[in-house]
Amino acid sequence: MVGDGAYGAGDARDSRGARGGAEAVPAMPPVPPVPPMPRQAPAAGPPLDEWLRTPRPEAGPGIWRYGHRPRPPEDPDRLDDRQLLGGAALALLCGLLVWSLCWNGYIKVWLWPLLWTTPDSWREPGGDHAAWTRAAQIYEYAFTIIYFLVVVKIARGGEVWRRYVRPRLSGRAGGPAGTDAPVAVPEGGPGDPALWPRLRAVGEHAAADRLAAEVHAGRMNDVDYVRIDRAWQSVRAQPAHLPAFAEAVLGQGAAAFVHPSGDRDLPVRAARHDLLTGQVRLGAAPDEDRNPYAYRGVSLALEPALLSTSMLVVGPSAAGKTSRVVRPVVESLALQALAGRAAVVAVGAAGAGLGPDGAYDVVVRLGSPDSSHDLDLYGGTEDPDEAAAVLAEALVGDAPGGPGVQGSEADTRRAATALAQLIGPYRAAHGRFPSVPELRELLDGVPVALASLRQACEAAGDGAALRELDARERQSGRPGDPGPLLADRIALLDRPAFAGFFDTSGTTRPFAMRDLEHPLRVRIDLPERGHAEASHLLARLLLAQFTACARTRDERSLFACLVLDDAAHTLTPSSVRAVQRLRTANAGVVLALRSLDEVPEPLRAAAVGAVGCRVVLSGVSTWDGEVFAQAWGREWVKTEDVTHNPDFSGGLLKRAVRGVRALFTGVRATTKSVTVRTVQRERWSASDLAHKVPPGHAVVSLTTVRGEASPPVLARLGE
């Protein structure tokens, strides 16, 4: 369906955030009122038609493609700027000096070819002096041209022109670097992309004219273009919907297939985005030897193809994790959600700076009485076993278990079994899962609560539920029973601040991870002040719910991403493995940490290895740097060893002169020998990461879902 291909929801303004999301709709939903364009552009940028025509050549992972000009192949004999310009100046001066000596008659060799090729009679008294004069002038002009061509060649004039003159002439002519390349038309036939040539190719000239008029009149923005283009992609897959597509375009123009919220842009943009490629610019890589050649001087960017491998951001407080990395990523995904290409859940403390409320469809303020939405404790699942497994991961996944990681996982499995033995019978008896106070009473083994549940199961005639209760009663009280620990952990949520939250009666509007079948923008504020342990528990719960739901989505054409602005104490052995499996589900997570100390020591290397994108900001410790240095590995480099040995060469006179010099200067004459070797060296050592990353910079390595990886690159964030 055209509408379903773009969003999969009809009028979702009133239903967003409700458990289970919006239902499927007919081929074309009712035409909503046309929302207005923003009064002011959220961020300065070129006109839409110019933006569309700017080339976007293919580039390596993480390179900002908008207006990118690929660097020429690396020349191992390339001179640095000082050598090139200094050598050119020296060659030019020497050439002018020699030419001056020739012109003023001090050097006569240059005249020999003229004398050899002209008759002597022209130069004798009474000869043809006019012919001699003409021949001499022609020779002088030819020799001058050839001579200075040779001088320019010796001075490497071609390299000077390519490196310094031509880029400045191109910049003076206007347009970004690379404008001499052919215009890139996104996914389609030839022609101006602002004229919608692909629609014209199938005969829909009226629809193409309407959209082209919207572009040139300034009524269409980049979100509109990408959103309508996505709807067109669904039409290409199902040509029967072409008439409905054309009707919507003719009726609504740039507002066709608008997001269910009615928004066509974000209230504000804090980063630079290129929605045509799905990229958001992260920073710029300085042109220095420490960076790989292909990445020197280019801008770095993130996109869903990279975030599908998940990302780990590590840096101390005030290093710029949120403002320079997390916020741009969330903003990019929110824009792509408006274009029908992504769903994002951003989790952080209240006031973390993840964007204004107007940039989201759902804002959940846990612990705040003015929150318009609730959070589904069970993630929207109907399966008691799945709900128990996810809840157990959140409650005891970080609890120290037996020896090693395997002992902790065994405790989590026992906790999941205990939870399933209670919430399964409760759902069978009441048709819903227990609320937090009810679950706490059952885990505490309150006799009245257990007796009431048993009576309800007997009244329902559910023998399987009664057997589960019998098993729970037999296991309770035994050594190692997880019930008391689960009760203590769930008590963190059974506090007055959370009264009214996690409701299961159906009277609230809970957000559930199952809603990520649709292009939602969700922000969840955690109550860190006074409830740090509860916040960590909820973050683990959201991570477990996301990894479980993302892999079972039906609508995998939408990229789904969970962003944890503070992922401290959220990673467990199960969640680390689950993060790795998100790559095949078109989903990913972004985890921000102040230090790897916030991850259990046995999991630190595994956590760094589980993600494909790593960002290490300035100020990390050498202990953290050691883990990343091992993850980035080593490379072969050439090193020079210089050895100084006493000089005993020469005869008696030479040795006597060296002895006199040593007597007066105190320095013995030495000979220098240079040994060149190829050795393996760490790309970035722990000491370099801790002490040689300037403030405002980060070392970034990126990997695409196809396995293409970039080496670690030093980048200046926010440029």
Token pair belonging to 14: 């009133």
- The predicted pLDDT at position 493 comes to 94
- The predicted pLDDT at position 114 comes to 84
- The predicted pLDDT at position 644 comes to 77
Q: Report the C-alpha gap between 676 and 638 in whole angstroms.
A: 7
- Sign of the four-CA dihedral 620, 622, 628, 634: positive
State the residue for tokens 């050691």. 626
Give one DSSP letter per residue of 568-591, joined into a string: TT---HHHHHHHHGGGGGTEEEEE
Residue length of the chain: 719
SS3 677: strand
Token pair belonging to 451: 């007796």
- Cβ-based neighbours of 639, under 8 Å, separated by 6 or more: 676, 677, 678, 679, 681
Give how far Cα 549 sits from Cα of 20, 67, 385, 554, 589, Å: 12, 38, 14, 10, 13
**pTM exceeds 0.75:** yes
Question: Do 440 and 491 contact (CB within 8 A), yes or no?
Answer: yes
- The predicted pLDDT at position 423 comes to 95
Work out the pLDDT band at 180, boundaries 50, 70, 90. Answer: very low
* Residue 45 CA to its chain's centroid (Å): 21
Q: Report the C-alpha gap between 15 and 22 in whole angstroms.
A: 6
Q: Report the C-alpha gap between 306 and 704 in whole angstroms.
A: 5
Residue 510 burial class via C-beta count within 10 angstroms: exposed 0-12, middle 13-18, buried 19 and up: buried
Q: Report the C-alpha gap between 271 and 320 in whole angstroms.
A: 14
- The predicted pLDDT at position 638 comes to 75
What is the 8-class DSSP label of residue 501? -
Q: What is the mean pLDDT of residues 416-420?
A: 94
Q: What are phi and psi of 414, to 5 degrees?
A: -65, -40
- Sign of the four-CA dihedral 69, 74, 79, 82: positive
Give one DSSP letter per residue of 47-76, joined into a string: -HHHHHHS-----STTB--TT--PPPPP-T
Question: Do 314 and 616 contact (CB within 8 A), yes or no?
Answer: yes
Across 153-157, 162-166, 202-206, 513-517, least confident range: 162-166
Helices marked H in 495-603 — which ranges? Answer: 532-550, 573-580
Nearest to 414 by CA among 396, 435, 436: 396
Q: Give the pLDDT confidence of 127-154 residue by residue, as tens digits.
A: 777 888 888 888 888 988 998 999 999 8
Across 130-139, 301-310, 376-385, 425-434, least confident range: 130-139
Q: What are phi and psi of 503, to 5 degrees?
A: -70, 140
Give how far Cα 346 sits from Cα of 181, 550, 647, Å: 39, 15, 69
Work out the pLDDT band at 177, boundaries 50, 70, 90. Answer: very low
CA angle 112, 118, 120 (to 5 degrees): 95
Percent of the chain at pLDDT > 90 equals: 59
- Cβ-based neighbours of 16, under 8 Å, separated by 6 or more: 22, 260, 261, 361, 362, 515, 518, 520
Nearest to 424 by CA among 474, 373, 484, 382: 382
Give how far Cα 490 sits from Cα of 166, 438, 483, 541, Å: 67, 10, 10, 12
Amino acid at 111: L
- The predicted pLDDT at position 605 comes to 94
Q: What is the mean pLDDT of residues 42-68?
A: 88
Question: Helix count (H) and strand count (E) of the chain?
Answer: 26, 16
Q: Report the C-alpha gap between 283 and 299 in whole angstroms.
A: 6
What is the 8-class DSSP label of residue 562? E
pLDDT, mean over the chain: 85
Q: What is the mean pLDDT of residues 349-354?
A: 90
Residue 19 has pLDDT above 50, yes or no: no
Q: Give the pLDDT confidence of 72-113 residue by residue, as tens digits.
A: 777 666 777 788 888 888 889 998 998 888 888 888 888 888
Q: Give the pLDDT confidence of 611-634 residue by residue, as tens digits.
A: 999 999 999 999 999 999 999 998
- Cβ-based neighbours of 712, under 8 Å, separated by 6 or more: 614, 632, 683, 684, 699, 700, 701
Question: Do 510 and 374 contact (CB within 8 A), yes or no?
Answer: yes
Nearest to 150 by CA among 112, 98, 103: 98
Residue 139 burial class via C-beta count within 10 angstroms: exposed 0-12, middle 13-18, buried 19 and up: middle
Q: What is the mean pLDDT of residues 302-313?
A: 97
- The predicted pLDDT at position 488 comes to 93
Across 33-37, 599-603, 639-643, least confident range: 33-37
Q: What is the mean pLDDT of residues 331-360?
A: 95
Q: What is the mean pLDDT of residues 334-343?
A: 96
Nearest to 715 by CA among 315, 347, 310, 333: 315
185/406: higher pLDDT: 406
Q: Report the C-alpha gap between 211 and 156 in whole angstroms.
A: 51
Token pair belonging to 221: 């923005």
Q: Give the pLDDT confidence of 633-688 residue by residue, as tens digits.
A: 988 877 777 787 777 777 777 777 777 777 767 777 777 777 878 878 889 999 99
Residue 42 has pLDDT above 80, yes or no: no
Residue 476 has pLDDT above 90, yes or no: no
Across 3-17, 234-248, 252-266, least confident range: 3-17
Provide the Cα torsion 459, 465, 468, 472; round to 10°: -40
3-state SS string for 434-485? CCHHHHHHHHHCCHHHHHHHHHHHHHHCCHHHHHHHHHHHHHCCCCCCCHHH
